């Protein structure tokens, strides 16, 4: 028997949340893991609880339902059923890959049919790429190769349902993005769950420079350096990207780039 489906309710109306809870209670294979009153709570709860299914209102305080989906980190996303009194968002909802669009008021049978869609999706969507697998892949990427070098030669990032290995020689720079780090490769960027501090330890300092608390840059991508009066520097990369170093990183920037003090 499969585990219960973990469900999160997001709606700013208490009565609407209560009705959804009552209907969910009639489905023994559904487990309510939380309820949220606005978009900010929803984003945090989805990240913390990793629900299988989100019953998501569209219009609410903070980010609306679509804003919540846009704010989610790349990777396996929960199934989403929009629950709203507004029919105008239906097309947009399905463009956002919503599983269903429940228009209030809806009856019990209509709700049950939506849950059945969620069950069908769970049966058909591969679930092998879970957090444990991600950790194993990250461990594999971090493992030293045949050489005694302690630094990694590639990083792991999620691209939808897939894991992508990013050779370090292709990486231009990395920037902090909330709880994640964006790895910039050419015109693309990929999110990884690791912290800037952890990545700084893994990357060869002969190739990469931590020049700000929020970015690491590959040294051979720097085309120009423009000094700023307070001890900061503007790095102009080959692709035109401009990054400003932190004042507290002045000494290590000067050492790495052999700049005159």
All structural domains of the chain: 3-122 (3.40.50.2300), 152-255 (2.40.50.1020)
pTM score, two decimals? 0.50
Distance separating alpha carbons of residues 25 and 9, to the nearest angstrom:
13
Low-confidence ranges of the chain (pLDDT < 70): 1-2, 73-76, 124-149, 159-162, 260-261
Q: State the virtual CA torsion across 168, 171, 174, 178 in degrees, nearest 10.
A: -90
- Supply the pLDDT for residue 86: 85
* pLDDT reported for residue 203: 92
Alpha-carbon gap, residue 197 to 93, rounded angstroms: 38
In sign, the C-alpha dihedral spanning 128, 129, 133, 139 is positive
DSSP track, 161-174:
TEEEEEEGGG--EE
* Token representation of residue 47: 């990240």
What is residue 128's predicted lDDT score, i.e. its pLDDT? 40
pLDDT attached to residue 26:
95
Tell me how far the alpha carbon of residue 242 is from its chain's centroid. 24
């Amino acid at each position: 028997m499969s585990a219960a489906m973990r469900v999160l309710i997001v709606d700013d109306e208490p009565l609407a949340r209560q009705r959804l809870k009552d209907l969910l209670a009639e489905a023994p294979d559904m487990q309510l893991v939380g309820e949220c009153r606005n978009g900010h709570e929803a984003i945090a709860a989805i990240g913390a609880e990793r629900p299988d299914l989100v019953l998501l209102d569209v219009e609410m305080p903070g980010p609306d339902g679509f804003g919540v989906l846009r704010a989610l980190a790349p990777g396996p996303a929960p199934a989403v059923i929009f629950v709203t009194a507004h029919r105008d968002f239906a097309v947009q909802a399905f463009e956002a890959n919503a599983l269903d669009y429940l228009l209030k008021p809806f009856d019990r049978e209509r709700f049950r049919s939506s849950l059945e869609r969620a069950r069908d999706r769970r049966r058909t969507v591969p679930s092998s790429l879970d957090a444990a697998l991600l950790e194993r892949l990250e461990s594999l990427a971090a493992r030293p190769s045949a050489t005694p070098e302690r630094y990694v030669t590639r990083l792991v990032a999620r691209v939808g349902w897939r894991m992508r290995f990013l050779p370090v020689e292709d990486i231009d720079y990395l920037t902090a993005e909330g709880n994640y780090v964006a790895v910039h490769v050419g015109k693309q960027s990929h999110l990884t769950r690791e912290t800037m501090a952890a990545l700084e330890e893994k990357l060869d300092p002969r190739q990469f420079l931590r020049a700000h608390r929020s970015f690491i840059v590959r040294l051979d991508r720097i085309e120009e350096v423009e000094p700023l009066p307070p001890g900061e520097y503007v790095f102009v990369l080959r692709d035109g990207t401009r990054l400003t170093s932190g004042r507290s990183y002045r000494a290590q920037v000067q050492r790495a780039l052999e700049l005159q003090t």
